[in-house]
């Protein structure tokens, strides 16, 4: 490995949140709500548009305190390109967080998953190109690396679409990048709410005691996305350096003393996850807090991220071989449970 500075390049000095109109697809989801919270508190954009398809969630979000002069609520679906174009008129930054993400639901409804996660990605790309949006960041997942289920496969395709969309932008203003990270604590459909419900019955279910996952808080994910928007050149896939956890430790942190039942792996489920695959190491660099997977295309400017160092040939970033693992007490602190000796 070539040793050298491990700090990322400074943010683009010409980019100012307070002068920007920002749109987030899937804005009423777990990520969207936390992103809006950070934007209103810390960045104060000129306009902030929440784009989602559920009017009840928008109503609940507005009445729960997300009501500000800069906020706009747009009913719409990423499957509808015309509605996306209308919503993105005059927008400078788009964060694409809308997706069908539940693995079993995607397996059972594969065409729906493709229409939202793949065709929806295409529609966001077309709309941002047509309206001259300057920065587009799409959210991806560790399941896009060597995918074994349909959800991961659709997110891999979406990543490829967003990276290569920079070729369609040409000399235009629009630049596209992706963020890829692991499981988010407490997001909708995550295992923590499941364990919390199950502990009332005195028994929690796991699929394999050896299972490991990358783990981060919603706050960490949102801050990482904001930082990447400020630093992106277009074409990068950004991967944060985050800790891993073992599913048995998580069960003991959430439900100490409960019986643990092993129910076996579900279809499309991996024992461990990767955030950076071996094939990507040849064009990946790292800083102290992230990996950056650079595209291998003629339009990429080679001097970008020159202050970061290349990763070792054949390097992989996998949840079971991570340098940082969370203890039971670490997990308790992250999920807001009382710390102490686990049963």
Catalytic residue ranges = 143
Q: Which two tokens stand for residue 139?
A: 């959210």
Question: Using the 8-state DSSP alphabet, how is residue 322 labeled?
Answer: -
Q: Which two tokens stand for residue 320?
A: 């079971």
φ/ψ (deg, to 5) at 235: 110, -15
Q: What angle do CA 298, 301, 303 make, to 5 degrees?
A: 140
Q: Strand, coil or helix: what is 258?
A: coil
Tell me how far apart the terminal alpha carbons of the chain are, to the nearest angstrom: 43
Q: Strand, coil or helix: what is 255?
A: coil
Q: What is the DSSP string of 302-316?
A: TTTTTTSEEPPTT--
Q: Which residues contact 313 (CB under 8 A, 6 or more apart)?
A: 281, 282
Question: Using the 8-state DSSP alphabet, how is residue 325 labeled?
Answer: B
Q: How far apart are alpha carbons 154 and 326 in whole angstroms?
A: 30
Q: How far apart are alpha carbons 61 and 285 in whole angstroms?
A: 39
Q: Which residues contact 60 (CB under 8 A, 6 or more apart)?
A: 28
Crossing angle for the helix pair 218-231 and 30-38, to the nearest 10 degrees: 60
């Amino acid at each position: 490995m070539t040793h050298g500075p491990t700090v990322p390049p400074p943010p683009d000095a010409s980019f100012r949140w307070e002068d920007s109109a920002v749109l987030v697809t899937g804005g009423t989801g777990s990520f969207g709500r936390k992103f809006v919270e950070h934007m209103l508190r810390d960045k104060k954009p000129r306009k902030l548009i929440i784009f989602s398809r559920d009017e009840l969630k928008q109503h609940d979000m507005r009445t729960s305190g997300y009501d500000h002069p800069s906020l706009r609520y747009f009913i719409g679906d990423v499957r509808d390109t015309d509605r996306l174009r209308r919503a993105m008129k005059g927008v400078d930054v788009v964060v694409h967080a809308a997706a069908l993400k539940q693995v079993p639901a995607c397996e059972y409804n594969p065409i729906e998953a493709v229409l939202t996660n793949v065709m929806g990605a295409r529609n966001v790309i077309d709309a941002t190109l047509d309206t001259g949006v300057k920065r587009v960041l799409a959210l991806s997942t560790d399941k896009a690396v060597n995918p074994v289920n349909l959800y991961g496969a659709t997110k891999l395709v979406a990543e490829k679409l967003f990276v290569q969309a920079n070729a369609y932008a040409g000399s235009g203003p629009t630049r596209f990048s992706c963020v890829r990270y692991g499981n988010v604590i407490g997001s909708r459909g995550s295992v923590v709410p499941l364990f919390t419900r199950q502990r009332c019955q005195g028994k929690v279910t796991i699929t394999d005691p050896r299972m490991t996952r990358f783990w981060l808080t919603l706050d960490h994910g949102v801050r990482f996305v904001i930082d990447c928007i400020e630093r992106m050149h277009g074409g990068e896939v950004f991967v944060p350096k985050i800790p891993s956890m073992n599913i048995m430790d998580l069960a003991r942190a959430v439900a100490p003393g409960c019986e643990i039942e092993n129910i076996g792996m579900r279809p499309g489920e991996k024992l461990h996850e990767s955030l950076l695959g071996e094939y990507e190491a040849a064009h990946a660099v790292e800083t102290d807090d992230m990996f950056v997977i650079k595209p291998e295309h003629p339009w990429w400017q080679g001097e970008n991220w020159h202050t970061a160092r290349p990763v070792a040939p054949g390097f992989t970033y996998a949840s079971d071989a991570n340098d940082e693992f969370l203890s039971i007490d670490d997990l308790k602190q992250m999920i807001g449970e009382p710390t102490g000796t686990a049963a």
